[in-house]
Amino acid sequence: MTHSSSTSISRRAAIATLAALGSGAVLAQGVASRPVTVRLGYQKSSTLIAVLKAQGALEKQLAPLNVALSWHEFTSGLPLLEALNLDNLDISADVADTVPVFAQAAGADLTFLAQEAPSPSAQAIVVREDSPIRTVADLKGKKVGFAKAAGAHYLLIAALDKAGLSFKDIEPAYLTPADGRAAFEKGAIDAWVVWDPFLAAAQRQSKVRVLADGAGIASYQRYYLASSKFAKARPDVLRVVYAELEKTGKWVKQNPKEAATLLSPVWGLDAATIEQANARRSYAVWPVVPEGLGEQQRIADAFLAEKLLPRKIDALNVALFKPGA
């Protein structure tokens, strides 16, 4: 073989090698640029998440982290946290304070991301306006509808206890908010325990009377959570979510009409109803600290006493996310 032909072959080999390396680099770049999908669960009453979803703000803030969101709606908090526990979700939007208690009793490994300040008047026990039931004590022997493990569930237990009754004194009907509304309007249940915006919708669209809300008995705090596995792997994502929740909570309270108008087509409710509902929610987003979890233990103990929780739990023995860390 001549020197010139050998050189030619070497050049062709070098070019082929460079081409292969180049295509490999392009392929690697394509793989690297493929967004990681984060699964976020929410429910209709997840106001701040609903605003962020409608505005596209959360996706925009997560894009620099190469993260895409997939959204998953649930009827209430318990199935939402069950999905989180089964690793079908990474992050859970706000659920009532009762729900994590049931998840902990089921052995869920959860991290508390954030909480909303108390909103005791944002849930209530209602009866039809013409009902003979005048007080909570009159619920004895009556059929009461509510979502299992929701904040409404604890409100009912606490209100019955205050009236000298126990949970066994009523006939419970475990119903999603939509099914509860239908049963209530048909007269299939005597009373309904529900939260906003469903409460505001019932007040504005039906003739109802409030027997009791959470004032003085159930503070109704709402928590945002993540699977602990995800919290350890992607604290950068949780920091972005926390910051957006905090900012959006302030915006909703400072711009009630704009927020209601934005949410109206999302929720299928008129803006006036949404504004009434939002006025009863604090939407102040805080980091979760051990000192703020005192009511969680009281809730757990109340459910255990009524034999509604399978085992005793230490409600304060939970993982807490530190947004500033």
Q: DSSP states of 173-228 as a string?
A: EE--HHHHHHHHHHTSSSEEEEETTHHHHHHHHS-EEEEEESTTT----EEEEEEH
How far, in Å, CA of 117 to CA of 115, rounded?
6
Number of domains in the chain: 2
pLDDT, residue 20, reads: 45
pLDDT at 27: 38
A 10 A CB-CB count for 22 gives 10
Q: Which of residues 213, 243, 264 is at a domain's end?
A: 213
Quick one: pLDDT at residue 247? 98
Does a structural domain hold residue 23? Answer: no
Distance CA 76, CA 96 (A): 9
110 and 243 in a common domain? yes
pLDDT for 39: 98
133's CB contacts (< 8 A; 6+ apart) are 127, 139, 142, 190, 191, 211
- Average pLDDT (121-134) is 97
Residue 65, pLDDT > 80, answer yes
Q: Are residues 226 and 114 in the same domain?
A: yes
- Residues 112, 225, single domain; the answer is yes
User: 114 and 234 share a domain?
Assistant: yes
Q: Is 86 inside any structural domain? A: yes
Within this chain, do residues 143 and 91 fall inside the same structural domain, yes or no?
Answer: no
pLDDT tens for residues 22-42?
444 433 344 457 899 999 999
Which of 197, 213, 229 represents a domain boundary (last residue)? Answer: 213
At 71-112, the pLDDT tens digits run 999 999 999 999 999 999 999 999 999 999 999 999 999 999
Residue 111 sits in the same domain as residue 249:
yes
- Measured CA to CA, the distance from residue 92 to residue 238 in angstroms comes to 11
Q: Is residue 11 part of a domain?
A: no
Domain boundary among the residues 155, 183, 213 is at 213
Tens digits of residue pLDDT in 162-209:
999 999 999 999 999 999 999 999 999 999 999 999 999 999 999 999
CA-based nearest residue to 206, from 123, 273, 121 = 273
Average the pLDDT over 38-57 and give the result.
96
Smallest CA-to-CA distance from 89 within 65, 66, 113 is with: 113
One domain, residues 92 and 145: no
pLDDT range class, residue 262, cuts 50, 70, 90: very high
297-317 pLDDT, tens digit each: 999 999 999 999 999 999 999
Q: Is residue 8 scored above 80 in pLDDT?
A: no
Alpha carbon distances (Å) from 260 to 54, 266, 271: 12, 10, 5
In a domain, 10, yes or no: no
Segments forming the whole domain that contains residue 315: 35-118+221-320
Residues 47 and 195 in one domain: no
Is residue 16 over pLDDT 80? no
Residue 1 lies in a domain: no
Is residue 26 one of the residues assigned to a domain?
Answer: no
Please indicate, yes or no, if residue 249 is contained in any of the structural domains.
Answer: yes
pLDDT tens sequence across 199-248: 999 999 999 999 999 999 999 999 999 999 999 999 999 999 999 999 99
Does residue 225 share a domain with residue 114? yes
Per-residue pLDDT, 292: 84
Report which residue type is found at 41.
G
What is the rounded average pLDDT of the residues 283-304? 93
CA distances from 132 to 135, 136, 189 (A): 9, 12, 13
CATH code, domain with 172? 3.40.190.10
Same domain, 289 and 160: no
Let me know whether 45 and 93 are in one domain. yes
286 and 156 in one domain?
no
- Does residue 6 sit within a domain? no
DSSP secondary structure letter of residue 130: T
